[in-house]
Structure 1
Amino acid sequence: MLKSDAHILVVDDEESMREFLSIMLKREGYGVNVASDGAQALELLKENNYDLVISDIQMPRLGGFELLAQVMSRTPETAMIMITAFSSTEQAVEAMKQGAYDYITKPFKNEEIRLIVKNALERKLLKQENQELKKELGRRYSFGNLIGKSRSMQQVYDLIAKVAASRANILVTGESGTGKELVARALHYNSDRHEAPFVPINCGAIPENLLESELFGHEKGSFTGAIQQKQGLFEVANGGTLFLDEIGELPAMMQVKLLRVLQEREVRRVGGTRDIPVDVRVVAATNKDLEGEVASGTFREDLFYRLNVIRLALPPLRERRDDIPLLIEHFYQKLTGKKELHVSEKAMRRLLDYGWPGNIRELENIVERCLVLGQGEELSEDCLPANLVADSAGTEGQLSQIPDTGLDIDAYLGTIEKDILLKALDKTGGVRKKAAELLGISFRSIRYRLAKFGIEADGDEE
């Protein structure tokens, strides 16, 4: 939620407090109205929609508790923060039990208010997004975004239908761009957990020193910058599904801690002393060969077996070419709202012959490119990128069948992987970070892959 889009109501019988909060919040970019008590606040609530109400507890005419009850009954999506004196924190805790998001005790620090307001608005946005997703449940995630008539995709649909209602952890495997998060969402929204949150996190995108706090939360003062208590994503996902993308990038120490959570079904916040029970179904995803990682000692075997209760393997696009016309229609409709796109015979031949190293994500980007560069409602060969035309021209017959003498599949796939890495580095001037973004993988992943082939990159940036 952009600050300019957020509308806040400040309710306090002290004029100085109203002015102070109004000035500070407006400087932060929020839209602000003020009320001198709960009764005046109710009048404003009838006329305006507020994302957040900050209210004192002790006020004449209509106090904070009565206002909270009215807000929760009229517009439960509105977040509320209560203001109280230090000696009345028990009242504030009681207010949170009745639906308030958080409380602030007087005297308070400006930075504390800013952070609590920011978190309250972010939580409201997350709740709103979840509600919107639930409304679209039947349309979007009943396999609707998983497009394909190929036998391999029909097998994926069948397996999702069988295991969606299970409590078992699931490991989704497949190359980058094959739609692993779509599968995780389909599993969640077709399970009895669909009313609870679906919470995704990319394990390779968060610095190692912050990952534990993100997953398990932290207590106030547990480290520098921890100015208030924070729930981890396991707690946020309680009752629902936690999607751990790029699980193969999880550092060794975090693997140990995640294993404990999966075994005990409880978390302990950083700096905390008590264990918090959680009911979370974990769906993990990776584009790595985790068995190979286990064999090499970089991924814990016991954690692998905890995650790999049910394996759901997604086929790469090159192994389901019959689905390409369907996917093109789907992306065209998604991008334009129109149903029919004519694809020239030459363009379709190129698309069917191409190797698709970026899988479905790459195909969607190409459809979007052609809509920008093409003419009208036709996808022609002229709008296809040069590398696709060149690669598809040399793809036919590259491996039409397995030789009678056999095939070393690891060596063959290694050759292809190395070639793709070198092309990505060449395209990005040797900068590994940009090459990783180009290939849809994490920086840690491309560093590992390059080291595997002994490839050095110049001009790098961390």
Structure 2
Amino acid sequence: MKKRSLLIIDDDQHFLMALGDHFGMSGMEIYKATTGKEGLQICKKKLMDVVILDQKLPDVDGDSICKDILSYNDKSKIIFCTAYPSFESAERALNAGAYWYVSKPVDLRELTFAIKKSLRELELEKGLEDLSYAREKEFEELELIGSSGLKRELDRLIELAAGTDSPVLITGETGTGKTYVARLIHKKSGRKGPFVTINCAALPENLIEEELFGHKKGAFTGAVKDKRGLFEVADEGTLLLDEIGDMPLLLQSKLLSVIDEKKIRRLGDVVYRPTGARIIAATNVDIEGRAAANAFRKDLYYRLNVLRIHLPSLRERKEDIPEVADYFLKEMSKGKPFRIPEEELKGLMDYSWEGNLRELRNVIERAMIISDGLVVRPSRILNISARSKEVSLPSVAPPEPVGQTIKLKDLEKRYILNVLHANGGNVSKTARDLGLSLSTLKRRLNSYKAQTG
């Protein structure tokens, strides 16, 4: 691990030696200077993490060279040190760019705390820089793959969405890339703030509300400090409300208010705060049907549906499958020349891809892992998947004798299993046909297996 550097600028030789020995023993790389000029020469040659700077130096006042030190490394943390403490001197030092202010005679514990806090701040800043760089690289590489007419129309809608601040509603089956498209809209929009996402189906109502709106200290037990919600975090950026169709009705009303008024109120607070977050909503359910059945607010649906982008399933744009498969292959190959034979690509185009892009990526990744060499054959995985579905299906009970009473739960079980068999064991399609969530259907199937096991 890289050693942190500490420069001590002070004309007191005993002070220099004592601090140098103490912080040198803690593993820091120590540099010393007795004049401002000498200190600046060191900063010019070596980037300093922390600088302990005396106010009264033989050639200059310490606060007069703070800006020069920061010109060599704007991340340096300057701890200003003076034997003549006053509000005015502290104000001058902090205005000049000092990070901390201590008075002489120095309390070693206070100085140690200041240095530790400085180093911690540097670590946090570095982490944020790395995260920002990673996000920038991620967004640089975002691009839709394919050349079909459907893909070109999708490109047109994305450009249209990027040029406006109005809400966008993205619909499509699971795995079609709704989050990816939302990220692409954010990237092309040039918005300054971050891209933030929340899954409305993953959290209970009270937690979703807190995540979105934040809370004021003391709003409830455990609220020991103020917390910003995602509407504030995403200010001047984009907030993706994934699985919007599963948002509780009470929160739908509050979301409608945010869209209309562009302001939010934290839980337990009386102050309204403006938000510049651009809202994108995504869902894989029939949201029009839910609105018609009063399971989703019609007024919110109309507000979100200003610009609608429907993502076609992979089955609807089969001509794009070879390009998409090649993209996934290159993405995961780590520079190795893996390839998919032509006959294998034709097989991929004939497959149903109920899980869409997510399933295709998974199949290619698994096929790469089990490949003997650089030739990847996804058909092996598809055959394995088909066989595993066949053997894992729970058996359907034989018909009950005529006139015998059937329990409702047994009738439900028989119906679910019949639909599952009619769909060839495809659990995702069965869930859609039955109007159940995928997790609910899987729980019921597991319970049926336990009963027969």
Q: Normalising to structure 2: TM-score of the pair?
A: 0.65
Q: Is the CA contact 2:264–2:274 (under 8 Å) kept in the aligned structure 1?
A: yes
* Per-residue deviation, 1:69: 11
State the 1:339 CA deviation.
8.0
Secondary structure, in 3 states, of the residue corresponding to 1:348? Answer: helix
Structure 1 spans left out of the alignment, 5+ residues: 12-17, 83-87, 102-116, 394-411, 425-438
Q: Which amino acid aligns with 1:208?
A: E
* 2:259 match: 262
| Letter aligned with residue 187 of structure 2 | Y
Aligned-residue offset at 1:342: 3.0
CA contact (8 A) 1:165 1:192 kept: no
Partners of 1:119 and 1:414 in 2: CA distance: 59
Q: Give the distance between the partners of 2:155 and 2:383, measured in 1 at CA.
A: 35
- Aligned twin of 2:320: 323
Q: Which residue of 2 aligns with 1:176?
A: 174
- C-alpha contact (below 8 Å) 1:350/1:388 kept by paired residues: no
Q: CA deviation at 1:59?
A: 9.9
Q: Distance in 1 between matches of 2:4 and 2:203?
A: 31
Give 1:284 shift.
0.9
For 1:312, the aligned partner's letter is: I
CA contact under 8 A between 1:267 and 1:275: conserved in structure 2? yes
Question: Which of 167, 192, 197 is equivalent to 2:190?
Answer: 192
Given candidates 120, 133, 136, the residue that maps to 2:135 is: 133
> How many residues were matched structurally?
391
2:159 aligned with 1:157, yes or no? no
Helix, strand or coil at the partner of 1:384: helix
Cα–Cα, structure 1 residues 247 and 8, in superposed 2: closer, same or farther, change >3 Å? Answer: farther
Residues 69/246 of structure 1: CA separation in 2 closer, same or farther (3 Å cut): farther
The residue identity in structure 1 corresponding to 2:235 is N
C-alpha distance after superposition, 1:6-59 (max 9, x if no partner): 9999x9xxxxxx9xxx9xxx9xxxx99999xxx99x989996787xx9x99x99
Alpha-carbon separation, structure 2, partners of 1:173 and 1:6: 51
Would the aligned equivalents of 1:350 and 1:389 in 2 still touch at CA under 8 Å?
Answer: no
Tell me, in whole angstroms, the C-alpha distance in 1 between the residues paired with 2:370 and 2:445: 39
Gaps of 5+ in 2: 9-18, 80-86, 100-118, 391-418
Matched ranges for 1:59-458 at <5 A = 125=127, 128-134=130-136, 137=139, 139-141=140-142, 144=143, 146-193=144-191, 195-338=192-335, 341-380=338-377, 383-388=380-385, 416=423, 419-421=426-428, 445-446=437-438
Distance 1:150 1:121 in 2: 47
Conservation of the 8 A alpha-carbon contact between 1:341 and 1:378: yes
Contact residue 284 and residue 307 of structure 1 kept, 8 A: yes
| Letter matched to residue 141 of structure 2 | R
CA–CA distance in 1 between the matches of 2:450 and 2:5? 47
**Structure 1 pair 322/309, CA: closer, same or farther in 2 (3 Å)?**
same
Q: Which residue of 1 aligns with 2:397?
A: none
C-alpha contact 2:420 2:426 (8 A) present in aligned 1: no
In 1, Cα distance between equivalents of 2:181 and 2:340: 28
Measured after TM superposition, the shift of residue 156 of structure 1 is 0.2
Compared with structure 1, are the counterparts of its residues 63 and 331 closer, same or farther at alpha carbon in structure 2 (3 Å cutoff)? farther
Cα distance, 1:292 vs. partner?
A: 1.2
How far residue 302 of structure 1 moved from its aligned partner, in angstroms, is 1.2
Q: Distance in 2 between matches of 1:49 and 1:346?
A: 60
Structure 1 residue 192 displacement after superposition: 3.3
What amino acid maps onto 2:218 in structure 1? G
Write the letter of the residue equivalent to 1:140: E
8 Å CA contact retained: 2:162, 2:189? yes
Q: Which moved more, 1:342-351 or 1:196-205?
A: 342-351
Match of 1:104 in 2: none
Tell me, what secondary structure is at the counterpart of 1:343? coil
Change over 3 Å in CA distance of 1:254–1:43 after alignment to 2:
farther
Distance 1:229 1:47, change over 3 A: farther
SS of the residue aligned with 2:236? coil
Distance 2:321 2:264 in 1: 43
Deviation at 1:419, TM superposition (A): 4.6
Query: Aligned pair in 2 of structure 1 residues 8, 383: CA closer, same or farther (>3 Å)?
Result: farther
| Deviation readout 1:293-326 (Å, 9 max, x if unpaired) | 1122221111111111100000111111111111
After superposition, the C-alpha distances for 1:365-387 in whole angstroms (9 at most, x for unaligned) are 11111111102221125642435
Which shows bigger deviation, 355-364 or 223-232? 223-232
Displacement of 1:223 in angstroms is: 2.0
CA shift digits 1:225-250 (9 cap, x unpaired): 22222211111111111111111121
Distance 1:349 1:124 in 2: 47
Code of the residue aligned with 2:181 in structure 1: it is V
Q: CA distance change for structure 1 residues 227 and 124 in 2, over 3 Å: closer, same or farther?
A: farther
Aligned-residue CA RMSD in angstroms? 5.5
Question: How far apart are residue 285 of structure 1 and its match?
Answer: 0.7
Contact 1:332–1:339 (CA under 8 A) maintained in structure 2: no
Post-superposition shift, 1:119? 11
* Distance across 2 between alignment mates of 1:390 and 1:355: 16
**Offset from partner CA, 1:72-91 (integer Å, 9 cap, x none):** x6666x699x9xxxxx9xx9
Residues in 2 aligned to 1:99 and 1:297: alpha-carbon distance in whole angstroms: 58
Q: 1:447 to 1:364 in 2, by over 3 A?
A: closer
| Offset, 1:445 | 3.8
Q: Which residue of 2 aligns with 1:109?
A: none
* Deviates further, 339-348 or 225-234: 339-348
Cα shift at 1:287? 0.6
